[in-house]
Amino acid sequence: MGGRDEKSSVRRNRSLSESIKGLFKPVGIGIGGSNGEANNNANGPSNGNKQNSAQENTKAQQPARPSEMPQLGTKKNSGRLGNIATNKEAELSSSRGAPIQAPASPLQSPVLQRPHHGLPNVSKLSITPLSPPGSDRDSIASEESHPRSKKGSSGDEGEMPDQRKDPRNNQKMQENKLHTPQMSSESQESGTLIDSILENDESDEHIHSKEHSKDQAQSGPYVNGRRSRANSHVGRSGSLKRNDSLSSNNVQGNKDYLRARNRADTFSASSLPKFSEIESKCVLQVENFKVYENGFHEHNLKVSSLVTDGNDNLSSSDIAKQKSSFSLSGMFKHHKEDSKQLENALSLIPASRLSLYQRIDRSRSQAVEDEQNGIVGIMENGFQADDEQDESKPKDKATPRIVNTNAAVGSEELKLINTLSEKIHSALNGESLKIEGQKKDIPKFYEQYGKPVGLIGHGAYGVVKVCSRPKTPKDIAPFATYSSGKKLFFAVKELRPKANDQIDRFSTRITSEFIIGHSLSHCHKKGTKVSPNILTIFDLMETNDAFVEVMEFCPSGDLYSILTRKSKNGTALHPLEADCFMKQLLHGVQYMHNHGVAHCDLKPENILFYPNGLLKICDFGTSCVFQTAWEKHVHFQTGTMGSEPYVAPEEFITDNEYDPRLTDCWSCGIVYCTMVLDHYLWKIALRDEDVLYDSFYEEMKEHKQFYVFEEMRHVNNEISRLRRAALYSILQIDPKRRITIDSLLQSPWMKHTRCCVFY
Ligand SMILES: Nc1ncnc2c1ncn2[C@@H]1O[C@H](COP(=O)(O)OP(=O)(O)OP(=O)(O)O)[C@@H](O)[C@H]1O
């Protein structure tokens, strides 16, 4: 493993600009660069473009955010390279004797004890300040109700019996107040019901029966546990329920639900079905997360607070007032100053006879047909004659031959990149934007996206505002953004160069962010659908003094805020809720990978939510294109990308070429652990720098186990086991041994996971 020196050489092999370098005829200053290289490589750029673009894009070089929403105080530095949230407040509170908010290791088996002697207080990795000593933690986190501390619990029998019986361990637990994803007795009991419910998931029938017979052969306690639960399931109310959870009513309930549930391909972002409409009893409730007798669940995430109502001059006390009094109805008021600024915004996307989406669709469909018919007009230089019907285009241009019709970056995106790059450079050089026919044809900003109604957050390049407009007859459900009543909402992110930004770097950053996000949320060939888990990017526009990116609005904000809010109440996410999020995350990442793009900065801050639990991956500013439409092979990366706690170990090795899909997979694993543990696993996956990671490394090497994973509890033994096995395969230090996203989605754990979106 590399040391710190290696890490400091933060760079990236192939940013978007590098990926496409030379593939398309430059328009002067565009990202396209020289086409000389491209002519030598019909299949796209070589893997040798290592020189520069990492520094352009890596977040390591971004200063901390100018300001943050008050409740995100600790977010400011969280997870940014070189700027980790060690969380002074957490240290402070732990030194005051606050409960340790971490998987301390009181229950580890003797064989696991040695490696983590002398570990620092893991609470330093907390993502939020700890609760004050003696604070009332949620039942799920309560050590008293921990199944393993409960005499006669049917919890994890057969897994770690010695530990559970050891009174010293129980005492230590009392001292440490474990704050890991332990299940309360109630949850655990509900888990027994959930256990039987999960067995009846039609889609998992085969897997389950396989697992089940294996289980019968291997694990007596689990089978016995199920038998012993046969007639008594205790719900939240404590009332006894008969074990006929799949009575005819419930079966009908399931069918209704399945009918109403979002299929990924007929998906409506606006609303998941209301469970109250379905006849099924709630058997588990943790805050707003409810699990029903028919096995499905409901999230009800809180709607984020607006930081201001659009007037940027509000003081922090005003902000606090705003926050507490915020409701979605407050978003219906428009704010004059912002309206003026945005009213004159002009889209940088070129107007054309055909809409961009139509053209992208056409070019992809044409490529598929050509491929099927064996027709590829390859020119001498290996490029394909460009015979599209865009009349405005000079006839002598050629595009490379498309070999991968799934790729997010194809010829239309290349054209757009060059156009945008040119326009951004012109704008930054003070030249006014020239858009043909802009006055007549192009709808004004507020007609398209409405007027500003508030400010949702601050990013590294400016604020994020919320705009809303009334729905029109042209807006047909499912809407591509959040809708409430008669309104549609959009998130509008300002992008302003920072004082020390070079034009090229800024231009590359926003072009990457926009093009990758935009193409991912629109690219699909005939017969395939866009993933519901990728944030839709609508537009990139220029105002008088900034660029603005118009996006789908996610009213429940990001996962980081959700976790920090939860942490304040002393809870992590319920494992069933976290599993649902994980499945959605993996589907989103799988979609990206299928389209030749790796995210490279997956972390809670880049995962947004709808109140119904629908997850959206956002922030493609550091994503890399590992395969364009002209490339058959995956290009590997070098250099470190992303935010330290989520970065895979192989990224820190100097000049090591790694598969960005596997590093994304590692980050997903860390994100999952953060959701259920409520703290980072480690600050950085470098043995020299992080004793926690070192401990993980040693344990995995010597015992093929990690005490944190061994102690994690799910709703029952079987799911604990399946999840643990999956976590080991995700967090494989050697990427060659790491599971792929595709295989992970096929793993028994994910197959058993009920998810809000039906893929
Ligand atoms: N589409 C959206 N819907 C709802 N909230 C959003 C949306 N986009 C951003 N936000 C919120 O706005 C805040 C700032 O977001 P932004 O992406 O600008 O921050 P950032 O992480 O610094 O971005 P970047 O890394 O691209 O500079 C975050 O709290 C985020 O949750």
**Alpha carbons 497 and 513: distance in angstroms, whole number:** 14
Residue 716 burial (CB count, 10 A): 24
In angstroms, rounded to a whole number, what is the distance separating the alpha carbons of residues 179 and 569? 11
Cα-to-centroid distance, 727 and ligand 1 (Å): 28
Q: Which are the contacts of 574, defined by CB distance < 8 A and separation ≥ 6? A: 140, 181, 187, 284, 286, 289
ipTM value greater than 0.95: yes
Residue with more model confidence, 467 or 359: 467
Q: Does one domain contain both 455 and 549?
A: yes
Report pLDDT for 645: 97
pLDDT digits (tens, 9 = 90+) for 205-242: 333 333 333 333 333 222 222 322 222 232 222 222 32
User: Which CATH number does the domain housing residue 608 bear?
Assistant: 1.10.510.10
Residue 251 lies in a domain: no
* Structure confidence at residue 557 as a pLDDT band (50, 70, 90): very high
Q: Which two tokens mark 730?
A: 């995700």
Catalytic residue ranges? 601
Residue 343: inside a domain, yes or no? yes
Of 502, 524, 555, the domain-final residue? 555
Residue 433 in 3-state DSSP?
coil
Q: Tell whether 711 is covered by a domain.
A: yes
Is residue 121 included in any domain, yes or no?
Answer: no
pLDDT in tens, 580-604: 999 999 999 999 999 999 999 999 9
- 547 and 568 belong to one structural domain: no
Greatest alpha-carbon span in the chain: 81
pLDDT, tens digit (0-9, with 9 covering 90-100), for 245-292: 333 344 444 444 444 444 554 444 444 444 454 567 888 888 889 999
At 511, which helix (H) or strand (E)? helix 503-520
Whether 667 and 745 map to the same domain: the answer is yes
**pLDDT of res. 127:** 59
Provide the pLDDT for residue 294.
85
Greater model confidence, 331 or 683: 683
pLDDT at 323 over 70: no
Checking if the pLDDT of 437 tops 50, the result is no
Structural domain including 742 reads 557-752
In a domain, 52, yes or no: no
Domain-terminating residue out of 538, 555, 572: 555
Question: In terms of pLDDT, which residue wins out, 630 or 684?
Answer: 684
Residue nearest to atom 18 of ligand 1 (CA): 459
pLDDT at 328: 42
Structure confidence at residue 372 (pLDDT): 57
Residue 527 shares a structural domain with residue 562: no
pLDDT of 287 reads: 83
Write the pLDDT tens digit of every residue in 298-318.
998 988 877 544 444 333 333
* 34 C-alpha to ligand 1 centroid (Å): 34
pLDDT recorded at residue 690: 97
Residue nearest to atom 15 of ligand 1 (CA): 459
Answer yes or no: do 537 and 635 share one domain.
no
Residue-wise DSSP of 63-121: PPPS---GGGGGGTTTTBTTB----HHHHHHHHTTPPP-S---TT--HHHHGGGTTPPP
Mean pLDDT, residues 469-495: 91
Residues 73 and 88 sit within 8 Å (Cβ to Cβ):
no
Q: Whose CA is nearest to atom 20 of ligand 1?
A: 459
Please indicate, yes or no, whether residues 634 and 690 belong to a single structural domain of this protein: yes
Q: What is the pTM of this model?
A: 0.66
Give residue ranges with CB within 6 A of ligand 1.
Answer: 65, 456-461, 464, 491, 493, 535, 551-554, 557-558, 605, 608, 618-619, 621
694 with 735, same domain? Answer: yes
User: Is the pLDDT confidence value at 345 over 50?
Assistant: yes
Nearest CA to ligand 1 atom 22: 459
In a domain, residue 310? The reply is no
Residue 538 has pLDDT above 70, yes or no: yes
| Distance in Å, CA 584 to ligand 1 centroid | 19
**Band of residue 358 on the pLDDT scale cut at 50, 70, 90:** low
Give a yes or no: residue 386 inside a domain: no
Return mean pLDDT, the chain: 65
By alpha-carbon position, which residue is closest to atom 13 of ligand 1?
457
Q: Say yes or no: 567 and 549 in one domain.
A: no
Cis peptide preceding 478, ω within 30 of 0? yes
Together in a domain, 538 and 572: no
Q: CATH code at 543?
A: 3.30.200.20
Cα(498) to centroid of ligand 1, in Å? Answer: 17
- DSSP secondary structure letter of residue 3: -
Q: How far is the CA of 619 from the centre of ligand 1 (A)?
A: 8
Looking at the domain assignment, is residue 464 inside a domain?
yes
H helices of 347-474, in order, are 356-373, 411-428, 438-441, 445-449
Residue nearest to atom 1 of ligand 1 (CA): 553
Please state the rounded mean pLDDT for residues 546-567: 91
Spacing, Cα 337 to ligand 1 middle (Å): 22
Q: How far apart are CA 294 and CA 289, in angstroms?
A: 15
Nearest CA to ligand 1 atom 27: 460
> Which residue would you say has higher pLDDT here, 324 or 565?
565
- Please check whether residues 537 and 633 belong to one and the same domain: no
Residue 608 Cα to ligand 1 middle (Å): 9
Q: Which of 71-85, 168-182, 345-359, 615-629 has the highest mean pLDDT?
A: 615-629
The answer to whether residues 592 and 736 belong to one domain is yes
Domain boundary among 522, 555, 588: 555
Element at 272 (helix H, strand E): none
- pLDDT of 367 reads 57
**Ligand 1 atom with minimal separation from the 535 CA:** 1
Mean pLDDT over 176-199 rounds to 40
Cα gap 623→18, rounded to integer Å: 12
Domain count, the chain: 2
Ligand 1 probe mutation, 483, 565, 619, most atoms within 8 A of CB = 619
Which atom of ligand 1 is nearest to 558's Cα? 31
Q: Which atom of ligand 1 sits closest to the CA of residue 552?
A: 1
The answer to whether residues 536 and 662 belong to one domain is: no
Atom in ligand 1 nearest the alpha carbon of residue 555: 4
